[in-house]
Structure 1
Amino acid sequence: MVQHISWFSNVDYEIFLFFEEHDIGATAKVVAYNIGYDSNYVNRRLRALESAGLFSNDGGIYELTDFGREFIEGEVDEDELTDPDS
């Protein structure tokens, strides 16, 4: 599983766990349904993770980027991530 990141929300870890177990493209609604969170909240968090370069979004379908996969594998440190709120 991914390391603790200071600006992550709890749902972010659930999102990564979902995509780690299912390497697919999925809408925020599908992800939210499967992890038990509100779809609007999951969509906001996926957009933040997209801004950090961890996910791509093509017409509302989110997928892990290569950078996101490296992050899951523990090959990316927190200082390599861009906090979307800063």
Structure 2
Amino acid sequence: MTGDPELKTMVERVAWMSPIDYFILEFYDDCDIQASPKVVAANIDYDRQYAGKRLKALTKEDLLQQEENGLYSLTDRGRAFLSGELGAENLEH
């Protein structure tokens, strides 16, 4: 799954986001589950440590949330971004 992400819904590119970030968001949108960095990395074919780092970055921007059990899930803000309801200008630093 590595390479240039081809999202189901075309979203605007955000300057600070890495290609993996789009794969992560799509994974959570497609699966609608809570998942660990290890599970995410295995499903999108990226290194677990790098996936974990990017999960934290997406959580900081409120696109994902980390549950008390250490698992991550997609937030409403993350869903709004993927659906095009939340533009890239709202995610720029």
Q: Would you say the 8 A contact 1:70–1:76 is kept in 2?
A: yes
Paired AA for residue 63 in structure 1: S
Stretches of 4+ aligned residues off by more than 3 angstroms:
none
Specify whether residues 33 and 51 from structure 1 end up closer, same or farther in structure 2 by C-alpha distance, changes over 3 A only: same
2:52 aligns to what? 43
1:32 aligns to what? 41
Aligned length: 83
How far the C-alpha of 1:82 sits from its partner, in A, is 5.3
2:13 aligns to what? 4
CA distance in 1, matches of 2:70, 2:12: 26
Identity in percent: 42
Cα shift readout 1:5-53 (whole Å, capped 9, x = no counterpart): 1111111111112112111110011000000000110000010000001
Q: Would you say the 8 A contact 2:14–2:91 is kept in 1?
A: no
Q: Would you say the 8 A contact 1:55–1:63 is kept in 2?
A: yes
Give the TM-score taking structure 2 as reference length.
0.82
RMSD: 1.2
Give the TM-score taking structure 1 as reference length.
0.88
1:74 aligns to what? 84
